[in-house]
Structure 1
Amino acid sequence: MPTLRRRRLGGTLRQYRKDAGLSLEAAARSMGWPESKLSRIETANARMLPKDIAPLLKQYGVTDEEVIAALAALAKDAGKQGWWQGFGDVVGANYKDYLSLESDADKIHVYAPNLIPGLLQTGPYAREIIAATAITRTPEEVIALAEVRKTRQAILTNPTRSGGPLTYWAVIHEAVLHQSFASNGNLMVQQLQHLLDMADSPNITIQVMPLGATPHPGMLGLFEVVRFPQPWPTVVNLENIRGGYFVEGTDDVKVFETAFDHVIAAALTPEISRETIKDTMQKIMEERKDK
């Protein structure tokens, strides 16, 4: 199956060709290629050589050096498999696609009304949440998926990552801070402390949506706005009990970008959010002490 990077490259080249008003036959002829070769590149069934990116884009009237460099880099990496391939079939096809998007992103904005977002979860919290939500998974698969989640989190701190650590903005509902776990009474205290620690990072912003918040678009559920360097368009990830799916297209994505603006406006400021997390953690600790 073609990688997501190869599919994104092929789709982008196809769009540039159409924007230039060229047929598949005419574009291929301008490169001295058979029509079938360009067709297979656009449908992600053939490799595009990085050296051919600039000449092809020139036929389409695209001369922006940043665009050319970005597409050439994607062509170079299009066939590479991500680190998650080592987990085999435990990671489903949709999840693999999301991990590929996440690894290429430079910014992610997420509203999480029912759980701590995956990139901010501790190991014990992740295992409990995955066990409770991935109801068809075996105990061994739950452990493996928790390890995948832990490995993902490196993008928040890895200074050698292309473009530097991911810029991450999470809005978490206040009710999530009060989750309890019968197997580990200290689990939520550890998780809340982890949120405070992560919020100290300059690339991470955490806001709390208060219980008494005014109505806002996030009331309809979790969503993630995944942004990339130019020329790649923004993608929105939506999740349900069967996994995630993507929203693409400028108009549809713009709705979610605007929705996130409304969400952060309804949430507590990062400073007040930090105090709210601290206060909640303290209350949990005092309640456990009294038991």
Structure 2
Amino acid sequence: MPAGGRPTVRSRRLGTALRQFRHAAKLDQPQAAEIIAASQARVSRLESGHVTARVIEVRLLLDAYGVHEPEVRTKLEELAKHSKNRGWWLEHAAHLRPDYVDHIALEDDATYIREWQPVMVPGLLQTPAYAEAVIAGGPHYIDPERVAQLVTVRVGRQAKIEEGGTSYTAILWEAAIAHPLVGVDIHRDQLSAVLEVGKRKNVTVQVLPFSAGALAGLASAFSSFSFDEEPTAEAVTLDNLRGTSVLESPEDLAAYANAFDLLRSSALAPDASAQLIRGILRSLKEDGS
């Protein structure tokens, strides 16, 4: 069973794929149960992610469902093998919401991450000082010790980008760049860090300018994740006051993929975005001199 008795992101992704392939093969759960010599209840729990399929079960089901593409089979077998693996972030799990753990797991598995952030610099680009300021300055009181732990986790999330393990595209509204949410000194250092990280081959930073008008209100902050060689969204996360929601339905994924494409097409090109950030950074330095 996934840790804590609740579906993990990996077990849920595996279960969703198995259910979709079963439907495509026009088989029902009792028939799937016969294939793996198990109960219908186990098939139901496999497909919901509440239990993790064994590799042999995945292979038998995919054979029966007529799924022979090597890349698809390898992907699902890997999910079965690693769905129970402890990620680095689980050392801090006692201090993290389960939905935040899901978000981090998606980041860790993703080959492509795309993010829209209209309010602040995204967590994957934040300096420790900026992260500490925005976490401590949130609407709810957080004990200083826990703030430090959350900063450690936020910085740890950035390793995947630093190592080149994923392609990351961030679109920020100009307000997140031009209007500091934190102390000016911290904000200046943060802008410098964004410019530096934006030089990485696997990172693209674009700014949606004020001139884009109402488009900035198209959607609140969201992140989308792809797990294959193509950047097709396979999961989307949304932050809200109650935590993080994970969206996986085809309709939701299509809507947010379209929203990201609209935002990106209206955003400044990476070079022009960097030029805008440098200009704002210069003005902040002049104001502080």
Q: CA deviation at 1:41?
A: 2.6
Residues 225 and 41 from structure 1, CA distance in 2 versus in 1: closer, same or farther, beyond 3 angstroms? closer
Structure-2 separation of matches of 1:243 and 1:132:
16
Q: CA deviation at 1:134?
A: 5.4
Task: State the secondary structure of the residue aligned to 2:156.
Answer: helix
Q: TM-score, normalised by structure 1?
A: 0.90
Task: State the secondary structure of the residue aligned to 2:171.
Answer: strand
Number of aligned positions between the proteins: 283
Q: CA deviation at 1:257?
A: 1.0
Aligned 1:1-291 pairs, distance under 5 A: 1=5, 2-133=7-138, 135-159=140-164, 165-180=165-180, 184-216=183-215, 218-229=217-228, 234-289=234-289
Q: CA deviation at 1:283?
A: 1.0
Q: TM-score, normalised by structure 2?
A: 0.90
Task: State the secondary structure of the residue aligned to 1:79.
Answer: coil
Residues 88 and 258 from structure 1, CA distance in 2 versus in 1: closer, same or farther, beyond 3 angstroms? closer
Structure-2 separation of matches of 1:185 and 1:31:
61
2:238–2:245 Cα contact (<8 Å) kept = yes
| Poorly superposed stretches of 4+, deviation over 4 Å | 230-233
Structure-2 separation of matches of 1:277 and 1:230:
31
1:91-114: CA deviation from partner (whole Å, max 9, x where unpaired): 101101111111111111111110
Give the letter aligned to residue 197 of structure 1.
E
Task: State the secondary structure of the residue aligned to 1:133.
Answer: coil
Structure-2 separation of matches of 1:50 and 1:203:
32
Q: CA deviation at 1:157?
A: 1.7
Q: CA deviation at 1:230?
A: 7.0
Point out where structure 1 has 5 or more consecutive residues left out of the alignment.
160-164
Task: State the secondary structure of the residue aligned to 1:127.
Answer: helix
Structure-1 separation of matches of 2:252 and 2:284:
41
2:11–2:49 Cα contact (<8 Å) kept = yes
Structure-1 separation of matches of 2:229 and 2:105:
17
2:124–2:157 Cα contact (<8 Å) kept = yes
Bigger CA drift: 55-64 or 11-20? Answer: 11-20
Structure-2 separation of matches of 1:145 and 1:134:
15
Give the letter aligned to residue 47 of structure 1.
T
CA RMSD of aligned residues (A): 2.1
2:219–2:259 Cα contact (<8 Å) kept = no
1:237-259: CA deviation from partner (whole Å, max 9, x where unpaired): 11123322122221221111111
Residues 34 and 176 from structure 1, CA distance in 2 versus in 1: closer, same or farther, beyond 3 angstroms? closer
2:184–2:284 Cα contact (<8 Å) kept = no
Residues 168 and 36 from structure 1, CA distance in 2 versus in 1: closer, same or farther, beyond 3 angstroms? same
Structure-2 separation of matches of 1:199 and 1:233:
22
1:9–1:71 Cα contact (<8 Å) kept = yes
1:94–1:245 Cα contact (<8 Å) kept = yes
2:10–2:83 Cα contact (<8 Å) kept = yes
Identity %: 32
Residue number in structure 2 paired with 1:162: none
Q: CA deviation at 1:26?
A: 1.6
